[in-house]
Amino acid sequence: MQLQPPHFAELIELIEQRAVTPVFQPIIDFGAQRVLGFEATSRGALNSPLQSPLTMFETAAHARMLPDLDRACISMACSRFAELQLPGLLFLNCSPVSFVAAGLQQASAEAALGIHDLPASRIVIEITEQQPLDDFAPLRATAAAFRRWGFRIAVDDLGAGYAGLRFWSELKPDYVKIDRHFIEGIDGDTTKRDFVRSILDISRRLGCRVVAEGIETAEELETVRRLGIGIGQGFLLGLPRRIPVSTVPQLLLQQRRSVGLRLSSKANVGELMQAAPTIPPSATAESVLDRFHADRSLLALPVVDNGHPVGVVTRHELLDLFSARYRRELHGRKPIRGFVPPSVIVEENTSLDETSRLLTDDSEQELAQVFIVTRQGRYLGLGQTRRLLRRMADVQLVHARHSNPLTLLPGAVPLNEHIESLLGEADEFCLAYFDLNHFKPYNDAFGYTRGDEVITLLARLLREHSDAERDFVGHIGGDDFVLVLRSADWRARCEAVLDRFAQEVRRCYPAEALDAGGVYCEDRGGHRQFFALLSIAVGVVRRDRHGGLSPDELVALATAAKREAKRQAGNTIFVRG
């Protein structure tokens, strides 16, 4: 006879009475600066032995009632989420055992059918591999069934326990959530940053989005954004609450955007915006459907609540939703708010490349036809993705003619154009000329392939430590780079590049070269000579001390300052007075 675990009776009562309390933590889309959705977790009854989630789920696992508990938690979370009319997606946790259980599939299908006023397209099933799995076939089949219903899939706590690459490759999720262990202290841990970079690389190849869990400090937030993670959650961004905050925290609005090369410093989505009629979130679904039937030229309708955009309802999505039998009778009188999918919302001054990234990185199965344009958070109009991509193609053709083929960074022509545009503005800036010391001997000793790896390393570090909204990274040839810095902390950024380079370039050498502190090879005169490990010379020219000069003259001064820096050993910054 199997002994029942402690608190078994309380567990039975909790499941039968649905006596669980869902709490919701916001998940933030950094690029769009909006709440992507909420992760729902559950608590037991207050002051009961099962109040703690850990105790509650451990008791259910020991009693082999985990699917029953998960089903109760999912039902309550869906009901409360709909009741609160929270925006975006609902992320629901469950174990693999529960995921393949028929009861969970039934509960999820009920949500998909609208019993909780939630379409399946707004629900993400979040799965954690809590123990090793030998047979992935049921998992794959269940994931395929959920996708047919319209759900999305996420892998939770990647890198913790048994949640590994096999689990990821078998499920092919829409989202991958990196375990909080790899986010905690990431700003000061090179190994964690390398792990995250590898996950980002795989995710791009597989077409899924990465979520950073457990962000608790501004430094961690800054680091994950610089690495290229577009979504995050954690106590810094919002606490789990019964009634959560559904706005983006002020800290995120103030923080600089993640690094990325801007294709154009002038073109923005405001130029592509068009006026469009709007509908309130209280409008019934059938009234919106009738508008689409009455006007076949109408492709999309923005849902706007007192000037603030909620999202976009498109013709093909709504017609597809109501094409099934009895859907109009079931859902026609419900408010349209419940049928608004996550939408891309950008400010009118957002660059073309940033908007394009938001559209192509969005987790929707199909590329969004339109996006919302705002001014200081208030609805302004709609942009068409087709027009944006056409304009992007034109811009990319121009930049491709003047970009370095190895690093894809802009070359001398775009650099001069950028400096010339800044000279017409009042903002101060400085030019920082970066040049590698002993790069030719390194190439001679280890070959051009290894030399290219060093070049791409420096290009990456320059991107990571510059501000995409204010700074410009140029590669003018060979091992020569120029940063145009408008950031007030320009010196700290340059020093950070030197520090990181000194650490990471060691991986480009064999152990014997590291022990010796350099390599022996021939100099330009054919004499055998010892050359120290690679380092960087930086020459800096500040505009405020050299007014009235042309772009070419400023670059020439920066080149001279770089030569002065090269006269000194090791990583050096020389600022021309």
Averaged pLDDT, 490-495: 93
Residues 406, 385, single domain; the answer is no
Would residue 300 count as lying in a domain?
A: yes
Which among 361, 392, 423 is the end of a domain? Answer: 392
Nearest to 278 by CA among 243, 306, 239, 256: 306
Residue 206 amino acid letter? L
Q: Please tell me the distance from the alpha carbon of residue 25 to that of residue 449, in angstroms, as a whole number.
A: 47
Which among 370, 392, 414 is the end of a domain? Answer: 392
Which among 366, 392, 418 is the end of a domain? Answer: 392
* Residue 141 pLDDT exceeds 70: yes
What is the band of 203 on the pLDDT scale with cuts at 50, 70, 90? confident
Helix (H, G, I), strand (E, B) or coil at 372: strand
Residues 409, 535, single domain; the answer is yes
Would residue 278 count as lying in a domain?
A: yes
Residue 392 amino acid letter? M
Nearest to 361 by CA among 554, 473, 456, 229: 229
Helix (H, G, I), strand (E, B) or coil at 431: strand
Would residue 6 count as lying in a domain?
A: no
Query: What's the mean per-residue pLDDT of the chain?
Result: 83
* Residue 424 pLDDT exceeds 80: no
Using a CB cutoff of 8 Å and minimum separation of 24, what contacts does 272-275 make? 272/383, 272/384, 272/387, 272/388, 272/391, 273/348, 273/373, 273/380, 273/381, 273/382, 273/383, 274/381, 274/382, 274/383, 274/384, 275/381, 275/382
* Residue 570 pLDDT exceeds 80: yes
Residues 406, 388, single domain; the answer is no
What is the band of 160 on the pLDDT scale with cuts at 50, 70, 90? low
Per-residue pLDDT at 14: 81
Averaged pLDDT, 439-463: 92
Q: For the chain, how many structural domains are there in total?
A: 3
**Residue indicated by tokens 């899939």:** 153
Would residue 397 count as lying in a domain?
A: no
Tokens of 185: 């202290």
The range of the structural domain enclosing residue 529 comes to: 402-575
Averaged pLDDT, 178-198: 87
Residues 431, 507, single domain; the answer is yes
Which of 67 and 495 is assigned the larger pLDDT?
A: 495
Residues 99, 196, single domain; the answer is yes
507 burial type by CB count under 10 A (0-12 exposed, 13-18 middle, 19+ buried): exposed
What ranges in 424-510 are assigned the alpha helix state H? Answer: 439-446, 448-464, 490-504
Residues 210, 283, single domain; the answer is no
For residue 555, give Cα distances in angstroms to 209, 307, 480, 533, 542.
40, 47, 12, 27, 11
CATH of the domain at 537: 3.30.70.270
Per-residue pLDDT at 256: 41
Would residue 418 count as lying in a domain?
A: yes
Per-residue pLDDT at 246: 84
Would residue 10 count as lying in a domain?
A: no
Give the pLDDT confidence of 227-249 residue by residue, as tens digits. Answer: 878 899 999 999 999 999 888 88
Would residue 2 count as lying in a domain?
A: no
What ranges in 424-489 are assigned the alpha helix state H? Answer: 439-446, 448-464
Give the pLDDT confidence of 356-402 residue by residue, as tens digits. Answer: 777 776 544 566 788 899 887 789 999 888 888 888 777 666 666 67
Percent over 90 (pLDDT), the chain: 31
Residues 180, 243, single domain; the answer is yes
Strand bridging mode 123-127 / 518-522: unpaired
CB atoms within 10 A of CB 95: 22
367 burial type by CB count under 10 A (0-12 exposed, 13-18 middle, 19+ buried): exposed
Residues 340, 457, single domain; the answer is no
CATH of the domain at 137: 3.20.20.450
Residues 285, 205, single domain; the answer is no
Tokens of 473: 């990274």
CATH of the domain at 332: 3.10.580.10
The residues that bridge with 104 in the sheet, in sequence order, are none
Per-residue pLDDT at 577: 67
Q: How far apart are the first and last CA of the chain?
A: 86
Q: Please tell me the distance from the alpha carbon of residue 462 to that of residue 466, in angstroms, as a whole number.
A: 6
Give the pLDDT confidence of 508-524 residue by residue, as tens digits. Answer: 999 999 999 999 988 87
Which of 46 and 183 is assigned the larger pLDDT?
A: 183
Per-residue pLDDT at 255: 52
Averaged pLDDT, 295-323: 86
Would residue 259 count as lying in a domain?
A: no
Averaged pLDDT, 425-452: 89
Per-residue pLDDT at 322: 82
Q: Is residue 131 within a helix (H) or strand (E), and if so which, with residue range?
A: none
* Residue 121 pLDDT exceeds 50: yes
Question: What phi, psi does 483 have (nearest 5°)?
Answer: -105, 130
Per-residue pLDDT at 278: 93
* Residue 133 pLDDT exceeds 80: no
* Residue 252 pLDDT exceeds 80: no
DSSP conformational letter for 348: T
